[in-house]
Each structure stands twice: as C-alpha cells, then as structure tokens.
C-alpha cells in the first residue's frame, strides 16, 4: 500500500460521507461557519500514520474527543489550507515548513454548526510538537492501514427525534475515534483501491 497511497490520494475521488449523517435535521438548511482540519500523514518504516489529537477535557465542544488539528476560519486566513496549517501550528506546534498540503477532501457539515474542509498533508518525519494544553491534551500516531481497515470500523445506529443516522466508530489503542473524525477517516478508504 505504501507505494500507492499518495498516488491514490492525489488521483482518486474519496468516497462520500454517511448519507444518513448528512441528512440529519440540524445539518439541512443550516447557517454554517467555515472551518478546516489538517489530516496529517507521516511516513514511517512500517507505513503511513495519521497524526491525531485528543482534545482537552475542559473544552465546551467535543471535550476529550479524538480529532484532527484544525478550527474555524479567521479573517486573516488566506485560504482553507492556511486555516488548517495555522490551527495545526497553534494547537500542536508542527511548524508550517514541515507540512506539505496534498489534497482537499469533501466538506462535511457538523451538528455544532461548521462546514469542515479536511486538508490532507504530508508531514516531515522529523516533526516535533509543542502542545497547547488549553486546546489539546495529547497527540498520537495511528497506522492508516489499521484505521481504514473495514474490520476495525463499527457503525452504530442512532435514533434522535424521529431521525435515524449512523455513527462510525474506530477503536485504536484504548481510544475511540468517532464523529466527524471517523467520517473523514472512513472516506479515505478509497486510497487502498
């Protein structure tokens, strides 16, 4: 897979997000703010890994959840790529010089009122972090092969106010990846084609 990962990423269209999630009543006709996350990929001897964060437990939105670094677009941001890189640098201290943007995935709306654009980027293997503990409690790497393996992905049906939708869950190393982060990872299944 390693020799094909980046070419598939650049040349193939990702699968779409869960149609039941996109049909959630709070996501239809919503007034969304723009946001971007970095989907950071780093090459290791064993293959490619994703760099993920665990959000700080005191945050009002999504406390302690596993996520990609990112956040809302600020007025001075030049582009969504700039937003993702800036937020990554602010949250976990990866210097922009270590980040090489590769592809933009489909935008996904969130029930917290954002339209999030994932920016896939290759991270220099010698990167270092400087965590802002006001936003993030930790970072970790997880092998892409594990995360996109259908055997490691679970779907759970949620019933909420006459609406049914599926949530994707990906367990990894005593952590549970779910929500928008899991949707983005699941949409990356196309890179193994």
Give the range with max mean pLDDT: 52-61, 86-95, 104-113, 144-153: 86-95
Which of 13-22, 23-32, 172-181 shows the lowest per-residue confidence on average (mean pLDDT)? Answer: 13-22
pLDDT at residue 168 greater than cutoff 70: yes
All residues at 6 or more sequence positions from 110 whose CB lies less than 8 Å from its CB, including other chains? 27, 116, 180
Contact in structure between 36 and 87 (CB atoms under 8 Å): yes
What pLDDT is attached to residue 193? 42
Contact in structure between 67 and 79 (CB atoms under 8 Å): no
What pLDDT is attached to residue 11? 53
Q: Would you call 115 helix, strand, or coil by DSSP?
A: strand
Considering the four listed CATH numbers 3.40.1260.10, 3.40.50.300, 3.90.79.10, 3.40.50.1370, the one that applies to the domain covering 2-192 is 3.90.79.10
Lookup result for tokens 């699941």: 186
For β-strands 47-55 and 33-44, DSSP reports them as: antiparallel
Mean pLDDT within 49-53 = 96
What pLDDT is attached to residue 2? 44
Listed by start position, the domains of the chain span: 2-192
pLDDT at residue 70 greater than cutoff 50: yes
What pLDDT is attached to residue 96? 97
CB-hemisphere CA count at 13 Å for 135? 16
Distance of CA 9 to the CA centre of its chain: 15
What pLDDT is attached to residue 125? 96
Lookup result for tokens 């983005």: 184
The phi-psi region of residue 93 (left if phi > 0; otherwise alpha if psi is between -120 and 50; otherwise beta) is: left
What pLDDT is attached to residue 30? 67
What percent of the chain lies above the pLDDT cut of 70?
Answer: 79
Strand partners of residue 99: 123
CA-to-CA separations, 174 to 53, 62, 144, 159, 171, in angstroms, rounded: 14, 18, 16, 26, 7
Question: pLDDT for 92-130, tens place per residue?
Answer: 999 999 999 988 888 888 877 888 999 999 999 999 999
Mean pLDDT within 144-170 = 82
What pLDDT is attached to residue 154? 86
What pLDDT is attached to residue 69? 97
């Amino acid at each position: 897979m390693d020799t094909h990962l980046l070419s598939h990423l650049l040349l193939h269209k990702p699968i779409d997000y869960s149609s039941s999630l996109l049909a959630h009543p709070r996501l239809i006709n919503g007034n969304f703010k723009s946001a971007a996350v970095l989907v950071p990929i780093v090459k290791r001897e064993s293959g490619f890994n994703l760099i993920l964060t665990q959000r700080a437990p005191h945050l009002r939105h999504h406390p302690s959840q596993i996520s990609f670094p990112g956040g809302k677009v600020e007025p001075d941001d030049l582009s969504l790529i700039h937003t993702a890189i800036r937020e990554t640098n602010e949250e976990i201290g990866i210097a922009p010089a270590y980040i090489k943007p590769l592809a933009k995935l489909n935008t996904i709306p969130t029930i917290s009122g954002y339209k999030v654009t994932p920016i896939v980027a290759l991270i220099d293997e010698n990167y270092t972090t400087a965590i802002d503990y006001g936003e993030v409690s930790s970072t970790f790497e997880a092998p892409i092969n594990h995360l996109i393996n259908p055997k490691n992905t679970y779907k759970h049906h949620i019933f909420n106010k006459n609406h049914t939708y599926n949530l994707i869950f990906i367990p990894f190393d005593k952590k549970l990846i779910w929500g928008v982060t899991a949707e983005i990872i699941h949409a990356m299944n196309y890179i193994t084609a």
